Amino acid sequence: MNILLLGSGGREHALAWKIAASPLVTKLWCAPGNAGIAREAECVPLDIANHAAVIDFCRTNAVDFVVVGPETPLAAGIVDDLASAGIRAFGPSKQASRLEGSKGFTKALCTEFGIPTGAYGRFTNAADALAYVRAQGAPIVVKADGLAAGKGVVVAQTLREAEDAIAMMFDGAFGAAGAEVVIEEFLSGREISFFALSDGDTAIALASAQDHKRVFDHDQGPNTGGMGAYSPTPFVTPEIHAEIMAKIILPTVAGMKARGTPFRGVLYAGVMLTPAGPKLFEYNVRFGDPECQVLMLRMMSDIVPAMLASCDGQLKNFDLRWFPDAALTVVMAASGYPGEYAKGTRIEGLEDAASVEGVEIFHAGTVSKDGHILANGGRVLNVCASGNSVSEAQRRAYEAVDRIRWPEGFCRRDIGWQAVDWERKGS
Ligand code: AMP
Ligand code: GLY
């Protein structure tokens, strides 16, 4: 089978690594890819926003199956366009991608189908939004409705911050994405990521993970795309796992089907484990980055039949096996990220780092030039490791990080801290 993978981040390197290991694959391309993905797949310089060019490539190269990594092409309807051209693709349709593309859409779905989430209001003008936050009080969460590259959420600790966020969003800080604003109850508890695979009719759980969104140690500084992750998280006990499937994932799949927009692909639920039980605070319609990297390390089964089953409505009775080991990934980013950063700095020591037991290095923003690996983005490398505990995976990942010579890069030193604390205390 010939497969084309779309994307260029650490998530896509992990997917390419896993897909390339499948005996079903004859040929794997990745568009546009990166220097690490080039080891697993043939990278092609396609503009993935140009759906006609992607379709053309598939026809010319007899591509049987397209796997879409990031949300932007999904929200732009690439899966629908490929389907119209007779090409199978893994991921949700444009309509189903609204679970990530519109926070108001997801909140309304939760209300309609009784999915636990925070109380909320939807607003299209600042005056009504301001009246609502003044009535509710702080802390409160202000969200731009649409896709805003992870920057459209303000967790306001004071009324003043909430008022400023409302003003900023209605002033057009996020363009059309902020034309509607969702204001949500502040949920307190532990935040976890829960992944499931759906075929439109049913869903199977993948695994749980924890991301680290803030840029600095001790969860300080601005939000990023994610500075590291580990899986599984001890905070998703078997009981909580079953509750999330029964109260959040399966009602969402049933609701999307009932509305005539079945969801096929990876459902990534952002869940707060509150004293009143797990509550959904957001959906994403694709694998998390960097959560995907740890999920791929832990997945024992071939991923390709699972993706085909999701696409073809055949997930019922499907089973995925996982390695019992934990996995952890540390993101190395260019100094200055998530603000301004330099490109083109040289990274050395990668082979030495990759030789640490249990370690796998996935590339995000890298290019290869004259035999050297150069940084080419904000998040640049994912140094991943497996281990018999999160603590062991963490030790191995940082041993590898310390072998990488890249003075212009940085990483957090405390990825996995919640699970490591938990393991140390033994509960
Ligand atoms: P997002 O950009 O949607 O991933 O949200 C960014 C972060 O905001 C999340 O990772 C949560 O930590 C936080 N957040 C979102 N919604 C809520 C909520 N209702 N209560 C508390 N924190 C939230
Ligand atoms: N790691 C967060 C995300 O992929 O959205």
Cα distance between residue 398 and residue 134, in whole Å: 46
If we measure between CA atoms, which residue out of 125, 62, 129, 70 comes closest to residue 101? 70
| For the CA of 191, the nearest ligand | 1
* 392-402 b/e (C-beta count within 10 Å ≥ 16 → b): bbbbbbbbbbe
Nearest 5°: the CA angle 361, 69, 95 is 160
Architecture of domain 125-179: 2-Layer Sandwich (3.30)
Distance 330 CA to ligand 2 centre (A): 14
Give the pLDDT score at 283: 96
| For the CA of 272, the nearest ligand | 1
- The answer, yes or no, to whether any atom of ligand 1 lies below 6 A from the CB of 281, is yes
Strands 326-334 and 379-387 turn out to be antiparallel
If we measure between CA atoms, which residue out of 27, 2, 25, 5 comes closest to residue 16? 5
- The answer, yes or no, to whether any atom of ligand 2 lies below 6 A from the CB of 288, is yes
Cα distance between residue 427 and residue 420, in whole Å: 11
Domain assignments of the chain as residue spans, ordered by start: 2-91, 125-179, 190-312, 327-425
Determine whether 343 is exposed, middle or buried from the number of CB atoms within 10 Å of its CB (0-12, 13-18, 19+). Answer: middle
Give the pLDDT score at 426: 76
Residue ranges of the chain whose pLDDT lies below 70: 150, 427
If we measure between CA atoms, which residue out of 404, 304, 359 comes closest to residue 28? 304
Give the pLDDT score at 54: 98
pTM above 0.85, yes or no: yes
Cα distance between residue 112 and residue 236, in whole Å: 26
Cα distance between residue 354 and residue 130, in whole Å: 52
Distance 131 CA to ligand 2 centre (A): 32
Task: Tell me the percentage of the chain whose pLDDT exceeds 70.
Answer: 100
Q: Over the stretch 40-83, which tens digit does the pLDDT of each residue have? A: 999 999 999 999 999 999 999 999 999 999 999 999 999 999 99
Specify whether the CB–CB gap between 278 and 197 falls below 8 A. Answer: no
Q: Over the stretch 350-401, which tens digit does the pLDDT of each residue have? A: 999 999 999 999 999 999 999 999 999 999 999 999 999 999 999 999 999 9
How is domain 327-425 classified at the CATH fold level? Glycinamide Ribonucleotide Synthetase; Chain A, domain 4 (3.90.600)
The pick from 155, 185, 211, 286 for probing ligand 1's pocket by mutation, whose C-beta has the most ligand atoms within 8 angstroms, reads 155
Q: What is the CATH number of domain 190-312?
A: 3.30.470.20
Q: Whose CA is nearest to atom 16 of ligand 1?
A: 281
Distance 141 CA to ligand 1 centre (A): 8
**Atom in ligand 1 nearest the alpha carbon of residue 103:** 3
The pick from 151, 224, 289, 296 for probing ligand 2's pocket by mutation, whose C-beta has the most ligand atoms within 8 angstroms, reads 289
Q: What is the CATH number of domain 2-91?
A: 3.40.50.20
- The answer, yes or no, to whether any atom of ligand 2 lies below 6 A from the CB of 284, is yes
Cα distance between residue 94 and residue 74, in whole Å: 6
Q: Whose CA is nearest to atom 5 of ligand 2?
A: 288
Q: At what angle do helices 250-258 and 103-113 cross, to 10 degrees?
A: 100
Determine whether 44 is exposed, middle or buried from the number of CB atoms within 10 Å of its CB (0-12, 13-18, 19+). Answer: middle
In 85-191, alpha helices (H): 98-101, 103-113, 126-136, 159-170
Give the pLDDT score at 148: 80
* 55-92 b/e (C-beta count within 10 Å ≥ 16 → b): bebbeeeebbbbbbbbbbbbbbbbbbbbeeeebbbbbb
Distance 219 CA to ligand 2 centre (A): 16
Q: What is the mean pLDDT of the chain?
A: 96
User: Any idea what DSSP says for residue 261?
Assistant: -
